Chain A
């Protein structure tokens, strides 16, 4: 399978990339690692007339410690995220979820920014970014703006990125010393999540002081499980309390029925996986 023909440009600055995307209009597409885009092009599910390769924008690679948050360049590969000491210490949830993305070859090429901009509801990095209250920095023809993760994902494969706008950085507030777990359910290795749960908890003297829980593939966008967070906060971190909180996991979700699972089964999975994820996060705290 061979992609349809396209023109190609590899700009060396963000401004040049934005100009190229604007000039290409609706039929231009940005490529970073290409691990989501190339399969789409090969299957001809998309046929852009211009592909703008971001790989020379080396300013967008790497993880920087920036006070009370980490500033992660959009071109940082999954492999780099997995091994970064700052991520390990301050954003363990992101690392654990990244460990489950696809396979080693794809993690060598695929990027954090690419996965977020692709916005596949079954993708494993959307829910952690939402749970961590990350802020996404975007640069376009109108300048640079910062979009909270809660406003970035708007629908299936759709984000708040405007035409010509690029995701350049992901700002992740540090959750140092929190326990974390990404609990993923899929049929086989390297498969997409049928449902997955991202959980991070701060436990002080056996009591859950703060909790963050977000769900993968329980609707067109990642979903914060606010009911679970409320139920856990201020409660002792016991098995009973976690089970009671997890019962609220599917509140406000809109899971699909597809070839992998029906909506009812996904609702069941959300509760079961939330209980497992929070239990594991508590013992990690």
Chain B
């Protein structure tokens, strides 16, 4: 089946099997390996991307379901050489150790901040409940998201 998906601002038209998961289409066909497969059971959130502006787990969406729609991955965030404010905040707050959960954490954090520009600690933890990290203990991730909120001008 032929699908056309806009990924990080570029249109891609491809023949895919209906059973292809969006994450495999992104990684294996389009080379967007910044989006990773963590658990393969919809739990961990490492594969989170934005589909028409809302966060989704790309292991739980068929590629054919993205036909005609726009996907943003972690690779589409930086503006030239300049990191997205959430990426910069993760970098400066040591919000990662092994880094495997980071693409999904950043994509979900951006979704969270779009909905709630100034989340308190509790709101950050709830907003990231679909993303698992096995290294950091989450503490610096929470710091980074709140720091990113300040960078994005959400703090009153």
Contacts and interface: CB of A to CB of B under 8 A. Distances in A.
B136 interface: no
Interface string A96-133: 00000011111011000000000000000000000000
Contacts of B48: 105
B24 A2 contact: yes
Contacts of A53: 62, 64-65
A189 to B, nearest CB: 4
A93 to B, nearest CB: 20
Given A34-B65, A35-B42, A51-B62, 6 more contacts: A1-B40, A2-B19, A4-B19, A31-B62, A34-B60, A38-B61
A3 interface: yes
B64 A8 contact: yes
Given A38-B62, A189-B129, A105 B108 contact: yes
Interface string B14-48: 00011111001000000000000000111101001
A187 to B, nearest CB: 13
A238 interface: no
A66 B108 CA distance: 35
B118 interface: no
A103 B61 contact: no
Contacts of B20: 2
- Top-9 shortest CB links A-B: A103-B130, A8-B18, A189-B129, A3-B19, A108-B54, A38-B60, A105-B57, A105-B55, A103-B129
B98 interface: no
A205 interface: no
A240 interface: no
B10 interface: no
B64 A190 contact: no
A63 to B, nearest CB: 18
Interface in A14-64: 31, 34-35, 38-39, 41-43, 51, 53, 55
A102 B19 contact: no
A2 B21 contact: yes
